[in-house]
Structure 1
Amino acid sequence: MSAPKKAPPAPISELGEAIKNSPALDVIRKQVNNLPISADAKALVMKIAQVSVRVGERVIRIGRLILGFVLDLANRYPNTAFALILTIVVTTLIGFIPWVGPFLAGFFGPLLGVLTLIVGGISDMRARALLTRTSAQQAALEAQTELLDKLASAEKSGLLDRLPELTRLFDATERDVVLAGGAKNVG
């Protein structure tokens, strides 16, 4: 008699979900092909995407998971990604200084990394806030444009010429409803 199977712990099931939702190789290839890097670098990145690991009976495409995560972060937070790249380049250049470079890179690299992450993060937050405000303004402008289009079509049909008559008719109807007791406070 076999013991009933227990549900896997939460982190393992979350890992399973991440593995199932890993981006397809074609999606990663399209994103990599749009990157402004050389063809050799693109080929190297695609080799990383094809890396897989066998765990028990399952094959995990770890390269796709990693590249999907990195590309997603770079798309969501471009300023922070640039800041990290800048940190790596500057720290490497500092490390090439003869005799003291490795010590200075070890000291200034983490400090520079924190500083550039903060600046990049703030820039990304400001850009996101600006995008949100711009989207709200665009929605308001679209609503105003739609209203103007309706007014223009009403003017073409001659409905605006009858506006004073329609307003009097509406006011009279509203007054009749109030007098008949139809307008009651709800709440």
Structure 2
Amino acid sequence: MCKKIKKPDQWVYVIEKCNNQVKIGVSKDYIERINYLERTGGFCATRYMALGPYQNGYEVESKILSQLKELRIIGEWHLVSYEYAVTTAKEVAKEIGNSDVIEVLDSKDLIELVDELFPLKASVTNDEHLQDTIITGFVDEKSVLWLETDECGLFLPEFLMSFLRVEELFRGGSCDEHK
């Protein structure tokens, strides 16, 4: 199998919209994301900061949000000082943030691997919502294979297999031979 590299591209950001109201998020282009939040939210960010980029930005974000969950007020906004949110974000990022360049499977090899691992894929991928889906894959530091699409984010191969089984059942097929 040929391997390519994947640079980290997930930025974790902290944005303040007014005194003590902050949002933590992840984006490949955090400046554009903050601009979008300002346009759609009708506010002007008073301060923001980004950490990264990381391979596991969503994991970093999730852990930060779990530490701030008691301070959540509306939607994704938290009633907490900007300084405290930034300190929390930096601590979490230092602890679990992964900025390593990783090897990813070449797309041709990944297609062959997915076809071999998931024999139901061929009968399901004729579905128009799957035809243009680009799946990338990589192996993490624990040698676990992860797949990723723009639509679904990161997921384990078992998720894809479950999805394909459900799709096949909806089409009137049987998954008995693939159990």
Q: TM-score range by the shorter chain?
A: under 0.3
Structure number, greater radius of gyration = 1
Q: Which has the higher contact order (CA 8 A, sep 6+)?
A: 2
TM-score, normalised via structure 2 length: 0.22
Higher strand fraction (1 or 2): 2
Higher helix fraction (1 or 2): 1
TM-score, normalised via structure 1 length: 0.21
